[in-house]
Amino acid sequence: MRPAVPEVAVAVTSRKLRAGLVGWCLLFIGAGALAGVLPEDRADAMYHYYDGGGVQIDGPSLLMRKSVGQSFSFFGNYYEDSISSASIDVVTTASPYDETRTEYSLGFDYLRGDTTMSFAYGNSEEDDYEANTFNFGIAQDIFSGMTTVTLGYGKGNDTVMSNVDPDFEADMDRQSYRLGVSQVITRNMLASINYEVVTDEGFLNNPYRSVRYLDPTSGSGYSFQPERYPNTRTSNAVGVRSRYFLPYRAALHGGYRYFTDDWEIDAHNADVGYTQPIGPWTFEVGYRYYTQSAAEFFSDLFPYEDAQNFLARDKELSSFDSHTVQAGVSYDFIEGGWSFLEKGTLNVFYDHVWFSYDDFRDLRNNTGVIPGQEPTYEFEADILQLFVSFWF
């Protein structure tokens, strides 16, 4: 199983959304898998690497979790991204850049009877963005532990800046509400359903990104102007997951998640996977499919300048889909314990992703092409995680 540390963002490479996604993960770092049971004492050290679409992201992550007495479990996490971007957004409207993002998070779980309460705080900083996130969660076992009900609330306060304009500074606030139920269906099958509402308010677009519009006075046939988003966004998501344990120690797992928001984006995400232990080795394979519709104010090419109140050309707000194949292996190199260590594993996980955009066009090498008839954009990405985990 992959460690409970934040993963590098796969489909999102914008600074603001990447920081927000990692921040919202804090609740799940701080919460135990089941009420009535504290998370195990463990330490994880990970190196992550992403390469795709002209973007390279890599760096370390360190996680430490330790129980104190029978009721408390504390954790601390350090996470770093070194980002080098020459993405299609950058090379067509700006200059490539390099930067480093660091995140610190800490929290604790408190166990009382069949109830677990979780608290977490995280801070993420880079040259032009700072995010502070607070999360609270509560999990309650009922029906003799056969059912677990979870509630969660998160609040984020972000500050958006610009390396181009030192006087620019804007705020963004996020709130997240969660409700989940997990159920033991049979002795071999677990299932869960989760519902989430997220509200965003403030400066929600990227201060560097531009949209393009038809301009007959330009040599290329089009010009650019800054993006302009609404200052509010509300999204709803519901997901179901299940895991079935096979007689020969293997397991099948899968899930589906539906997302919708008031920007008229509808998204579907489905995945399936298989886990097989063989002696000290554990092998995992999986497949994930994602598809979404475009935001109502997205266009690859607007008919003229200021064509509407809100304007976006972020490819992550366009219609696109992706396919991901996953493979991983873990090796238990401390079977039966050693000294104060109960278990130790070496782990390697690799994902390969194919992205295909329906209405976002590739403006590179477009000499002589009529605006709006450029080929649609697509790219592939590789994601690698190497980590070692210790239980004590």
Query: Is 7 a member of any domain?
Result: no
- CATH number of the domain within which 280 lies: 2.40.160.40
Model pLDDT, residue 220 = 93
For the chain, which ranges sit under pLDDT 50?
Answer: 1-33
Q: What does the pLDDT read at residue 337?
A: 76
Residue 2 domain-assigned (yes or no): no
Task: Answer yes or no: are the C-beta atoms of 301 and 370 closer than 8 Å.
Answer: no
Tally of domains within the chain: 1
Residue by residue, what is the 3-state secondary structure of the chain? CCCCCCCCCCCCCCHHHHHHHHHHCHHHHHCCCCCCCCCCCEEEEEEEEEEECCEEEEEEEEEEEEEECCCEEEEEEEEEEEEEECCHHHHHHCCCEEEEEEEEEEEEEEEECCEEEEEEEEEEEECCEEEEEEEEEEEEEECCCCEEEEEEEEEEEEEEECCCCCCCEEEEEEEEEEEEEEEEEECCEEEEEEEEEEEEEECCCCCCCEEEEECCCCCCCEEEEECECCCEEEEEEEEEEEEEECCCCCEEEEEEEEEEECCCCEEEEEEEEEEEEECCEEEEEEEEEEEECCCCCECCCECCCCCCCCEECCHHHCCEEEEEEEEEEEEECCCCCECCECEEEEEEEEEEEEEEEEEEECCCCCCCCCCCCCCEEEEEEEEEEEEEEEEC
pLDDT at 40: 93
Position 69 in a domain: yes
CB 310, CB 280: distance < 8 Å: no
Position 6 in a domain: no
Q: What is the pLDDT of residue 34?
A: 54
**Within-domain flag for 142:** yes
Q: pLDDT tens, 208-249?
A: 999 999 999 999 999 999 999 999 999 999 999 999 999 888
* Backbone CA torsion sign across 303, 306, 309, 310: positive
In this prediction, residue 196 carries a pLDDT of 98
Domain of residue 233: give its range: 15-391
- Beta strands 376-391 and 42-52: pairing type? antiparallel
What pLDDT shows up at residue 379? 97
pTM given for the model:
0.89
- Tell me whether residue 384 is in a domain: yes
pLDDT at residue 35 in the model: 63
Q: Is residue 296 part of a domain?
A: yes
